[in-house]
Amino acid sequence: MTVERTVRLYLGERSRAATTHTNLSAVRADGPVLWVAGDETATIERLVADDPLEPGRYTDETSYRLADLVPLPGADADEEADIEGLARSGPFLWAVGSHSLRRKQIKAHHDGAKPLKRLARVEGQDNRQILVRLPIAGGEPVPWVDTEAGRQHAAILSGEDNLRDLLRDDPHLAPFLPIPGKDNGLDIEGIAVHGERVYLGLRGPVLRGWAIVLELRPYAGPDAPQRLCLRPFEDGRRYRKHVLALGGLGIRDMCPDGDDLLLLAGPSMDLDGPVRLYRWHHAARAATPQVVRGDAVRRELDLPYGEGDDHAEGITLVGPPERRRLLVVYDSPAPSRLPGDGAVLADLVKL
């Protein structure tokens, strides 16, 4: 792997107080704009490049509450949404929550019976179970926008129609729904959009070494334009399932590159590495559920990772085609990624 240089991301004081800068989980470039999200808030942040062709820093953060744009399912609108993926296509910005359950952690000060009690406690959060489509106008997410196709509203897939309910009868995934994400349970950590196709990459479960990508066809309901519906495929199911040979790793993020998908792959469970980038050739041309192996998927490069830190969580392509690079952001950044001027460092990688 060739890290050409680092790029400085400057998040505002409020985002740093919410530790978004050390919990970056999603990123997507949009011309001079960089959309980012952390996994402990219910907001999306917009940064602007100093030079869209050769960015050295992204600044001028603007934060957008999801609850100001769509009706979130949680009783507390600011409860974390665990946003794990962002995508940008046509007039829309897309965001997806992890849909995972979580198990309580044992912390250093816990002793006696408390550690085991905490490990037995599994909980979910309604705001994690969302797929959101936000119209963009004037560079900002808005409640609605007028396009050639008519008025397009901010819309959400959640509540009784959420993906966990959709998968409750799935022969592969249903057994993993009660299992926390970090225990190889259901955990969505990537999204890519190509035309009407929406791909969701699963960090877990990984089944006998096979990673899973779900393909959806969301659309806004005609009678409730703020609600997303799922168009059935030819077999009547509202999702399509692909399995990929990624060396036993799960998917941590995805990014479209023409008809291909770039896949950031890492361990499904609480391990540091390995972390790799794969290319799924012609993913957007798939007309049926795919078993992706051999020449259909290529290992492009290995990414660095630390011991307990520097976990690659998000990827996006930046720059013009002739100088295109991969921007990588990290969760739990190492101290060297926090230079002390309020920035967090991302890597710019040559493909």
Q: What is the CATH number of the domain that holds 291?
A: 2.115.10
What percent helix, strand, coil does the chain show, rounded to 5?
A: 15, 50, 40
346 and 9 Cβ atoms separated by less than 8 Å: yes
What pLDDT is stored for residue 115 in this prediction? 83
What pLDDT is stored for residue 3 in this prediction? 86
- 141 membership: H or E segment, kind and range: strand 140-141
Residues of the chain with pLDDT under 50: none
- At 21, is the secondary structure helix, strand, or coil? helix
What is the longest distance spanned by two Cα atoms in the chain? 64
Domains in the chain: how many in total? 1
- Indicate the pTM of the whole model: 0.96
What pLDDT is stored for residue 1 in this prediction? 62
> What is the Cα–Cα distance from 218 to 323, expressed in whole angstroms?
33
What pLDDT is stored for residue 265 in this prediction? 98
- In terms of Cβ atoms closer than 10 Å to its own Cβ (0-12, 13-18, 19+), residue 327 is buried
The tens digit of pLDDT for each residue in 314-350 reads 999 999 888 899 999 999 999 999 999 999 999 999 9
331 and 25 Cβ atoms separated by less than 8 Å: yes
Parent domain of 141:
2-350
